Chain A
Amino acid sequence: MFKKLFGKEDKNTGETWVSPLSGKVISIEKVPDPMFAEKMLGDGIAIDPLDGNVVSPVEGEIIQVFPTKHAVGIKSKGGVEILIHVGLETVELKGEHFERHVQAGDHVQAGDLLITFDYQEVKKKVKSVISPVIITDSTHVRNLKTEKEIQAVSGKTEVVSYDVD
């Protein structure tokens, strides 16, 4: 019994995200897009950014960078799939003003630069630059804790934590 108990505890690992963007962390429910606000794609946070540098929130592997470069999927070391979606309806820019620094299969550390975008131009052209960062596969995620209404510094401020089983 003890073995089982300890065994389970051994398997449990916690994971923490650093903020992938600098700016204000807001609750995912407040994102002005129902697909994200209703958590249809997964739970998480959103950031209203102040600049155009997107870094990895965790150590892990890049699963995909959208061809239009406004979103990137990462599989964390703990096996959790994360999606960073820069802005809302940014797909319409067709990759303009975006630059990618990684590709699928790359191994990244928390804080590594993933995407950069021309903040001023993008802000002018899209509905919103509010960027949802969500867990797209929460099967093994427990005790999700998210920060909200704080100012975060990319690669530094811890914004999300959970246990992985």
Chain B
Amino acid sequence: MMRINRVLNNNAVVIKAGDTEKIILGPGIAFQKGKNDIISESKVEKVFILKEGNKKFEELLKNVPEAHILLGEEIISYAEEKLGVDLNHHIHISLTDHLSFAIERTEKGIVVKNKLTNEIRLLYDDEFQIGLWAIYRVKEKMGIELSIDEAAHIAVHIHTAKMQSTNVEETINKTVIVLDMVDIISSYLEIEIDKKSLSYQRLITHLEFAINRFYSDEPFHQLDEEMMIMIKRKHDKAFLCAHHAAQFVQAEYDMNFPDSEVAYIALHIQRLIEDKK
């Protein structure tokens, strides 16, 4: 049995279960209800355990218009279903907060440009499609038309949560580095890379994980010395290209990839080369 400890808004309440506090979300769950009233379990859509970080969520639920919260939750559910993954819980704060700001800004006629919109669309196509869907839902529900740049912002939030990260800034930084590397690789090979190809998708995923490993000090791929020599010998062009890209990120971003990582990137580059044959 769930008894209301405090009402956050019509669709969100806090309950206590022993020592832990939980936020319960559900449409109309607290409608005409107050402290100590019992909520109908059939209306419960989501349950969050209130930890330190979730205090922020509670604040958000109290201060952000309900319509924005519901939209945020709807977008998150849609994204989880479409991507088939559980997103990092922080997205319930970051996306909803962002969305609410974006709606308010747009209502006031303020447009914030996103310089990376095209790149985000290319790098995170699935997330971008969800962003577009979100814009459509906002228009349908609120009559407000968000710009296409907002779809890209939403995509970055979703991508960040998909990578189980909470740092949207870092995602944007990584995006820039990955794009720089792709540019270097493409011009070195003198080929037009098919951005829809599986080989390309796998390359950028790998690059992103490699950058993650650098940031988080996680160990890189281990590789036999001999295997590396073999890769070098068999795929010399791809290897030189990967080496070239690695030198660039070292010079530009002071980011050092070990040889084994370079060899792994070379294998991905080799696939791009083979695609072109």
Interface residues of chain A, those whose CB is within 8 Å of chain B, are: 34-35, 38, 40-41, 64, 66-68, 70-71, 73, 83, 85, 89, 91, 136-137
| Binding-face segment, B172-180, B222-230, B243-251 | B222-230
Q: CB distance B230 to A91 under 8 Å?
A: no
Contact B226 A67 (CB under 8 A): yes
- Whether the pair A136, B234 counts as a contact (CB closer than 8 A) is yes
| B223 adjacent to A35 (CB under 8 Å) | yes
* A66 proximity list for chain B (CB < 8 A): 224, 226
Shortest 8 CB-CB contacts between residues of A and residues of B? A91-B224, A66-B226, A40-B267, A136-B234, A71-B226, A89-B222, A67-B226, A68-B226
Residues of B within 8 A of A67 (CB): 226
* Chain B interface residues (CB < 8 Å from chain A): 202, 221-227, 230-231, 234, 264, 267-268
| Cβ of B218 to closest chain A Cβ, rounded Å | 14
B interface, by DSSP: helix, strand, loop or mixed? Answer: helix
Assembly CA distance A30 to B87 (angstroms) = 26
Shortest beta-carbon distance from B221 to chain A in Å: 7
Contacts of B221 in A (CB 8 A): 34-35
Q: Tell me the complex Cα distance, A91–B227, Å.
A: 10
B264 and A91 contact, CB distance less than 8 A: no
10 contacts between A and B (CB under 8 A): A34-B221, A35-B221, A35-B227, A40-B264, A41-B231, A64-B230, A70-B224, A83-B230, A91-B224, A136-B234
A38 to B221, CA, bound (A): 14
For residue A51, give the distance in angstroms from its CB to the closest CB of chain B: 23
Residues in B with CB closer than 8 Å to A137 are: 234
Q: A35-B264, A40-B267 are in contact. Are A136 and B226 (CB under 8 A)?
A: no
Q: What are the residues of chain A within 8 A of B225 when measuring CB–CB?
A: 91
Provide the bound-state CA to CA distance between A40 and B230, in Å.
13
From A35, A73, A89, A91, residue with most partner B Cβ within 10 Å: A35
